[in-house]
Amino acid sequence: MKVSRYIKKLTDRYRYSDSKRMFMCFVILRVLVVLTAVRCLLTHNYESFALCILTLILFLAPAFIEDRFNISIPPLFQAIIFCFIFAAEILGEVDHYYVRIPGWDTMLHTMNGFLCAAIGFSLIYLLNRGSSNVNLSPFYLTLVAFCFSMTIGVIWEFFEFSMDQLFYVDMQKDFMVTTIGSVSLDPEHAQNVIKVKDIVETTIRTASGEVTTIEGGYLDIGIIDSMKDLLVNLVGAIVFSVIGYITLKKDSPKANKVAQGFMIKPNDPGKTGEEQE
C-alpha cells in the first residue's frame, strides 16, 4: 500500500468516527499546524518547519495504533493526545511557550504522568481481562499503571540528559539559585558541606580567557528541572491511579465515567476496522 493511501486510510478513521467533537479537534489542530508550517517557511525557520511535519505525523499515531493492533482508543483520550502534541511541539517548541509562559513545561509533564498512567492501566487491564491465568487485584493493577507512568517519565529525563550532554540543546531547562551547599568546596576534602548564601553573580572564565557573567545567582544545570518534572509526573500518575483504583474497587459511577474515557479497548475480532466505525 502506498504511503499516501495509507495516510488517507488513517485520516478516514477520524472522519467517520462516532465522535464529531474529536474529529473537529483533529481538523482544527491540523489546520493550525499547517498554517504554522507555512509561517515557518516564509520566515526561513526550517527547524520549526520540521517540527510541524513531525507533529502532523504524530497526529496520525493513534489511528495507526488502532489499525495496527485492532484496538479502540476513546475519543476523549485521542483529543487530549492531540492537544498534548500540539501544546508540546507547536506551542512549546515553535512558539517558545516553554520560556515565555512560566509553568508550561510543568503542566505538560503533569499531563504526561496522567496519560501514561491511563495507558499503563489500560494495557494491564486488557491483559487481566483477556487471560484466564491472570487475575490481578485492583491495587496491583493501579500499582503497575503508576509504575509504568513513572518509568516513562524517567526514560524521558534520560533522553533529555543525553541530548544536553551530546548536543548542548538545553532540554533540561536551567534554574537560577542563590544558595548552594557542596562538599566539593571543602578545602580539606573531608566531605564537609560548604554553604554559599545570597549569591548575586556568577563569573565563568574559560581556558581561552573568555569571561561570562551570570547576573542573579548561580546557574543550576538541569537538576532542579529534572526533579520538578518527575515530581509533577508523580502527581499526574497518582491522580489517574486513584481514579482507576476507585473504578475497579468500588464501582463508583463518577470515577467509572472518567476512567472509561481513557480506557483502551479491543475491537471485535470478527469485524474489520471500518465495520467497527
pLDDT tens by residue, 141-150: 899 999 999 9
The answer, yes or no, to whether residue 275 has pLDDT greater than 60, is no
Lookup: cell for 208: 581561552
Contact predicate 85/36, CB 8 Å: no
Q: Is residue 18 part of a domain?
A: yes
What backbone phi and psi angles, to 5 degrees, belong to 220?
A: -80, 130
Cα 136 to Cα 124: distance, rounded to the nearest angstrom: 9
Q: Is residue 40 part of a domain?
A: yes
Q: Residue 30 belongs to what domain range?
A: 1-101
- Dihedral over Cα of 254, 257, 259, 261: its sign: negative
The answer, yes or no, to whether residue 273 has pLDDT greater than 50, is no
83-142 confidence digits (pLDDT tens) = 999 999 999 999 999 999 999 999 999 999 999 999 999 888 887 776 666 677 889 889
The answer, yes or no, to whether residue 255 has pLDDT greater than 70, is no
pLDDT higher for 14 or 227? 227
pLDDT of the residue at 203: 95
Cα 232 to Cα 234: distance, rounded to the nearest angstrom: 5
Lookup: cell for 101: 509562559
Q: Is residue 45 part of a domain?
A: yes
pLDDT of the residue at 201: 95
> CA torsion, points 206, 210, 216, 222, in degrees to nearest 10?
-40
Q: What string of DSSP letters covers 83-122?
A: HHHIIIIIIIIIS-HHHHSTTHHHHHHHHHHHHHHHHHHH
The answer, yes or no, to whether residue 174 has pLDDT greater than 60, is yes
Total of domains in the chain: 1
Q: Is residue 72 part of a domain?
A: yes
107-118 confidence digits (pLDDT tens) = 999 999 999 999
Q: Is residue 277 part of a domain?
A: no
19-32 confidence digits (pLDDT tens) = 788 889 999 999 99
How much is the pTM?
0.86
**Residue at grid coordinates 498534548:** 84
Q: Is residue 63 part of a domain?
A: yes
The answer, yes or no, to whether residue 172 has pLDDT greater than 50, is yes
Q: Is residue 68 part of a domain?
A: yes
Q: Report, as an integer, the average pLDDT of 9-28.
A: 79
Written as one letter, the residue type at 12 is: D
Q: Is residue 87 part of a domain?
A: yes
